[in-house]
Amino acid sequence: MRAREDKPLMRAREDKPVIRTLTQPGPVHPNRIDSFAGTLVPLRFRLQPGLSLTQALTGPLVEAGFQSATLTMRGGALDPFRYVMPGPADSPAHVAYFTAPRAPEGVTRIEQANATFGWNDATPFLHCHAAWIEPDGQRRGGHILPGDSIVCDATWVDAWGFRDIRVATAPDPETNFTLFQPSGRSNAGDAVFARVKPNEDIVRAMETVAAAHGMADAVVRGSLGSLIGAQFADGTAIQDHATEVLVREGHVRDGVAALDLLVVDMEGQVHEGRLVPGANPVCITFDLILHRVLR
């Protein structure tokens, strides 16, 4: 079943890009971005071979006392390896869903993986997107199933964690998914964890979050989510209604945002580039971490 896609908005001006939207199954929440300030702590560690990716990534974070974190892994290998890709809606209950799990035989080598760390009840939990090279030599990408994927290379991981912002799974009535939701009590700190909701342009959302927290200059740490297709600055366009993405590099300078992503389409093909501001709305959710830069 295809997702229900609204007609593109008409151009208000010649230089304003058209933005696509999707009608979610549940009520639209009036607050389109949830954001909380806190103190971001860096942590670098090596994965322990023989553990599941969940165990290897979350163990050091729990030991460090983090309530949430974002992680980036470049390199490394997994065997066995299981994943899903973005797929069409499974029913009217969702605008998009996942493919059946896939499990290539042999060692899969990670190009880049970004993950959000949080909690499912009292259990450490991960939301992880990546691009990789499968045993057949093909470059693919999607949503890693970290509990079913085993580490076989002691690669380094860069993490940035919060002890004062907690991220936990909760039902989301708007999308009908169970999603990571941030919460916090402090309005101070050098970083922000934001959850950006459906149909909000992700580049403009970065600018909104930065302005709300007084960040004229910031860098994106880790971060991942899903978009309605993708529009790149070089003119490339991904037309699929659901893509899974991870950040290669992003920043805010003098209040103006730029975001460079790896984008995985519904065939598992990986695309990359800088996004067109105002033309890349969120599909389901986006975990965004901005870290203040002091001049």
| Each residue's pLDDT tens digit, 58-98 | 999 999 999 999 999 999 999 999 999 999 999 999 999 99
Q: Percent of the chain at pLDDT above 90?
A: 91
Per CATH, domain 33-38+167-292 is 3.30.465.10: no
Cα separation, 4 vs 26, whole angstroms: 13
In this prediction, residue 16 carries a pLDDT of 55
Residues with Cβ within 8 Å of residue 63, at least 6 apart in sequence? none
CATH 3.30.1330.80 fits 40-162, yes or no: yes
Query: Per residue in 153-168, pLDDT tens?
Result: 999 999 999 999 999 9
Is pLDDT above 90 for 107?
yes
Q: 129: pLDDT confidence band, cut at 50, 70 and 90?
A: very high
Cis peptide before 124 (omega within 30 of 0): no
Alpha-carbon gap, residue 94 to 11, rounded angstroms = 28
Domain spans of the chain, in order of start: 33-38+167-292, 40-162
Identity (one letter) of the amino acid at 261?
Answer: L
Q: Closest by alpha carbon to 58, among 128, 108, 135, 1?
A: 128
Query: How far, in Å, CA of 96 to CA of 115, rounded?
Result: 21
Confidence of residue 4 (pLDDT cuts 50, 70, 90): very low
CB 209 within 8 A of CB 35: yes
pLDDT band, very low/low/confident/very high, at 17 (cuts 50, 70, 90): low
Query: Which two three-digit tokens encode residue 267?
Result: 């065939």
Residue type, 234: D
Average pLDDT for 279-295: 95
Taking the whole predicted model, whether its pTM rises above 0.85 is answered as yes
Is 40-162 in the same CATH topology as 33-38+167-292? yes
pLDDT average, residue stretch 139-155? 97
In this prediction, residue 18 carries a pLDDT of 63
